């Protein structure tokens, strides 16, 4: 007889395990099914490993700048990529072990195998039973939950004319399998994944070329920030090609060539490797959605504002639904699902108040409306403070960037915060909290910030809204 659960989670990434742990802490009986490594893309092939590489890249920059801080050393150094990989793997393994320990601590049954939801039949009279094909080849298992949470995530996509082999032409999965740094690389795509890899590989001594179809990098940020990143990249020797449409990619004798069209002119880019970073697509195939009556498109599973699918007892969160593809968003969505299952009052997530970060050098972070437009369509008030005037920035030797604060003229509520510069991704949460609480720039400015700190730039930007920044 199949074991019954209050909740079965299909997918062990951050969206899946966060919901499973919350549900278990609330006293629900929970099972989690994962076909690959626990922790999903973010922990194993995304956020965590790339940020580990970015930290190693940062250390190269710091070594190069040591003389600025009065430390004289031999200007020669060696990048040991094997040790960089080992450090990354150790961090990932430690965090993966931590997630596994949390599952055990919270008495969550874990199944390593392929999970799929079932429709109704004489064996499964209720839609939403979950069948598991264990990876160890043992017999199939059927679980009969009251509720199902689908959190199967996404995978890298490519272009129709570019054939990925994960050896010479790589996705964000394959590039993490490299054991040696290439001499050169062409990155197709100037979104978050593309620019983060461009930044870190450049610091590690790789010749980097970016080819982007849009007319600017990181299209979801405001044009000023996009242009700022482009300028900083070009100062560091990264070649940036915008408004350039890739037509094909070829491999010949260990070298790759990308053929593209820029305006009315054909252009080609040669490099040792190619990274294709043109987006991700949801994992909706082969998980039983049709049989279970769950509607979906190529963009993902259809859900309502509480992440309920067209099958009443089946929910979906994270990259598998057409919302914002961010790890912290998936985690929050799954927590709201648990609240919904427990029949609590749930306030729908405000996606305009989700902080987002780009871990390039310089770092970029933003929250809310940062295009200068207020909610009523009028131009927002803007305050700005540059890090070159900030004492802590001078101490750290990182003077590039600024804080921009956008305020609705009608309501006097802060509606957006954009940060370019040191520790931007750490500081952005102050803006997210302020927007959540409908804070005004005056309230940001009246909050006493410790000195010297980078966060003083937020206070100064708020005061600049009224022309009252003391240090500007």
Catalytically active residues are: 451
DSSP state string for 53-91: HHHHHHHHHHHHTGGGGT----S-----HHHHHHHHHHH
CA distance 221 to 47: 19
Contact 330, 18 (CB under 8 A): yes
Residue of 210, 226, 193, 203 whose CA lies nearest to 364: 226
Positive or negative: CA dihedral 389, 394, 399, 401:
negative
Residue of 47, 248, 256 whose CA lies nearest to 167: 256
Structure tokens at 118: 């079932």
Structure tokens at 244: 């350039």
CA distance 163 to 178: 18
Question: Going by C-beta distance under 8 Å and a sequence separation of 6 or more, which residues neighbour residue 265?
Answer: none
Positive or negative: CA dihedral 132, 142, 21, 345:
positive
Task: Provide the 10 A C-beta neighbour count for residue 453.
Answer: 16
């Amino acid at each position: 007889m199949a074991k019954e659960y209050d909740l079965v989670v299909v997918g062990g990434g951050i969206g899946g395990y966060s919901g499973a742990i919350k549900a278990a802490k609330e006293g629900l009986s929970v099972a989690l099914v994962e076909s690959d490594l626990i922790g999903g893309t973010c922990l194993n092939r995304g956020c965590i490993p790339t940020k580990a590489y970015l930290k190693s890249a940062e250390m190269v920059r710091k070594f190069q700048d040591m003389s600025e801080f009065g430390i004289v050393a031999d200007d020669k150094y060696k990048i040991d990529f094997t040790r960089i990989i080992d450090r990354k793997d150790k961090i990932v393994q430690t965090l993966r072990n931590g997630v596994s320990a949390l599952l055990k601590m919270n008495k969550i049954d874990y199944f390593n195998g392929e999970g799929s939801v079932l429709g109704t039949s004489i064996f499964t009279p209720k839609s939403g039973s979950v069948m598991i094909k264990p990876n160890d080849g043992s017999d199939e298992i059927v679980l009969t939950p009251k509720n199902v949470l689908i959190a199967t995530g996404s995978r890298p996509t490519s272009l129709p004319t570019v054939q990925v082999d994960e050896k010479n032409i790589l996705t964000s999965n394959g590039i993490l399998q490299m054991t040696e740094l290439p001499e050169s690389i062409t990155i197709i795509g100037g979104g978050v994944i593309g620019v983060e890899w461009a930044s870190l590989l450049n610091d590690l001594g790789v010749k980097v070329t970016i080819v982007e179809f849009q007319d600017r990098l990181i299209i979801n940020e405001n044009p000023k920030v996009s242009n700022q990143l482009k300028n900083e990249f070009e100062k560091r020797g990264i070649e940036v090609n915008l408004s350039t449409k890739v037509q094909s990619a070829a491999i010949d004798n260990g070298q790759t060539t990308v053929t593209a069209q820029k305006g009315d002119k054909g252009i080609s880019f040669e490099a040792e490797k190619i990274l294709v970073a043109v987006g991700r697509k949801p994992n909706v195939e082969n998980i039983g959605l049709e049989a279970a009556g769950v509607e979906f498109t190529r963009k993902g599973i259809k859900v309502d504002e509480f992440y309920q699918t067209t099958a009443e007892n089946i929910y979906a969160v994270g990259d598998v639904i057409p919302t914002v593809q961010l790890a912290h968003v998936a985690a929050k969505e799954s927590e709201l699902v648990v609240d919904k299952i427990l029949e609590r009052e749930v306030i729908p997530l405000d996606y305009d108040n989700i902080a987002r970060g780009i871990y390039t050098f310089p770092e970029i972070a933003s929250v809310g409306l940062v295009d200068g437009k207020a909610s009523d369509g009028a131009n927002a008030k803007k305050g700005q403070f540059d890090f070159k005037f900030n004492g802590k920035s001078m101490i750290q030797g990182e003077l590039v960037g600024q804080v921009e604060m956008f305020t609705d003229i009608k309501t006097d509520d802060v509606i957006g915060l954009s940060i370019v510069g040191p520790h931007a991704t750490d500081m952005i949460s102050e803006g997210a909290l302020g927007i959540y609480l409908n804070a005004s720039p005056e309230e940001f400015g009246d909050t006493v910030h410790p000195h010297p700190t980078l966060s003083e730039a937020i206070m100064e930007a708020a005061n600049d809204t009224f022309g009252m920044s003391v240090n500007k």
